[in-house]
Amino acid sequence: MNLHQHTRRHFLAGSSLGLGATALSWMLQRDAAAAPAKPEVRTFDTVPRSPTTQGKAKAMISLWMQGGPSHIDLFDPKPEMAKWDGKLVEGDFKFDDVAKASTRMLHSPWKFKKHGESGMDFSELVPHMAQSADDICMIRSMQTGVNNHGQSIRALQMGRIDEGRPALGAWLTYGLGCEADNLPSFVALIDPGQLPVMGVENWQNGFLPSLYQGTVVRPTEPRILDLTPPTRLAGAAQERSLELLNSLNRNHLKRHPGQTDLEARIFSYALAAKMQTAATEALDLSRESKATQEMYGMHDSNKTTADFGARCLIARRLIERGVRFVQVYTANQLWDHHGSIISLLPKACLQVDKGSGALVADLKQRGLLDETVVHWGGEMGRLPVIEHDEGLAKAGRDHNTYGFSMWVAGGGFKGGHIHGATDEFGHKAVDNVVNHYDYHATLLHQFGIDHTQLTFERNAQQKSLTDGQPGRIVQELLA
């Protein structure tokens, strides 16, 4: 390493002039060491790009319910189960926890009611989501067919069950870039409890360049550490340091003609500085009216709704400012109700229902829902039979990836529509099945992207989100 490189890199590593540790860390993820000049150097960036066709969606917010919400207790009523409640039934159930499994039926103890002009069914546990029934496209026939959390998470988040693959948000930002030049393109809003199963893998860039990795925003203040410079270093002092940094970078670029990625790195350093103002403003919920804050449950007396509601509101603010993809995560296994579902499922629903419903309604009233996809769901549903058959208070439900529900709203998806069906007990999808690769093909289509054409070369092979799987565009889901 020559003296110039040594000085420049130590300047970056040791600088405390307000770039901010987190902002700088995110910027450096976009940075790659300069490689020897090649005849053709492809530049990777987040400059906005036009899709190949005219898509209806421009941004996406995914509300990720990690653990597997029970579809037969929330969105897919099965009155036939009442006749068998407490009785042994036959079925080729695939249990995750064989030791605690039974084949005794557990009919949902919660009441369902039809909502909206569409008459869509919702459980009494999710009254706020139910208010958006006519804007929601309910998919009751989802399948991944892999029965543990990790593999099913990878199927829905990364397209296949293999490790090391890019997350959905990374693919979208790789394909379309970002409308904002002062905020990250892919943001992960994590829960204050625990990271979801698979942790950072949920927002990884995989084999895509590192600038497509999701940027984590903390669940509590300060949401981005060291974003604001100390008072003594703000203003002119910081401006002079940035001018020096820019001069060092430009001189470095002159010594490496043809290395077009260096231009992108110079832009990245400038973006880190821009985030000081833009991210601070975007994450400042005090700028929202009290009515809007209350709509998202930020002031409810029980405090249960405040955190998730605040993160849903942040997601809306980020999308408004040009961020391409935001994912809001619940805590590790919040929905994994192997036992005590009678008490635990209502608590999980109370935490997320108000914020989820508010997000759809708020986007709609602001004219943003037409071009923003909102997704709600987890990696699986639950079985209709009892796990922990030791009395109703201890009863739970095991994993089910062969037929479960999730919903999408906005972005050109058909509102007030129920797609597909499971069998009489909600065990398996039997009508209009939607596999994870069908969902991904359809989602990319709504962004104007052909899922077979959005590829990245790795080891002399063209990789994609669906990656050779027979993904089909499910036209019945589309408005």
Q: Is residue 22 part of a domain?
A: no
Q: How far apart are CA 46 and CA 30, in angstroms?
A: 10
Q: Is residue 72 part of a domain?
A: yes
Other CB atoms within 10 Å distance of the CB of residue 244: 14
Q: Is residue 249 part of a domain?
A: no
Range of the domain at 420: 57-76+114-224+283-477
Q: Is residue 20 part of a domain?
A: no
Helix axes 21-29 and 261-282, enclosed angle (nearest 10): 140
Q: How far apart are CA 134 and CA 409, in angstroms?
A: 9
| CATH number of the structural domain spanning residue 343 | 3.40.720.10
Q: Is residue 359 part of a domain?
A: yes
Tens-binned pLDDT, residue by residue, of the chain (479 aa) = 444 444 544 444 444 444 444 444 445 444 544 444 444 445 678 899 999 899 999 999 999 999 999 999 999 999 999 999 999 999 999 999 999 999 999 999 999 999 999 999 999 999 999 999 999 999 999 999 998 999 999 999 999 999 999 999 999 999 999 999 999 999 999 999 899 999 999 999 999 988 899 999 998 888 887 777 777 766 777 677 777 877 887 787 788 765 545 655 665 666 667 788 899 899 999 999 999 999 999 999 888 999 999 999 999 999 999 999 999 999 999 999 999 999 999 999 999 999 999 999 999 999 999 999 999 999 999 999 999 999 999 999 999 999 999 999 999 999 999 999 999 999 999 999 999 999 999 999 999 999 999 999 999 999 999 999 999 999 999 99
Q: Can you give the pTM of this predicted structure? A: 0.87
Q: How far apart are CA 326 and CA 374, in angstroms?
A: 10
Q: How far apart are CA 391 and CA 376, in angstroms?
A: 31
Q: How far apart are CA 204 and CA 225, in angstroms?
A: 20
Q: Is residue 42 part of a domain?
A: no
Q: Is residue 87 part of a domain?
A: no
Number of domains the chain contains: 1
Q: Is residue 329 part of a domain?
A: yes
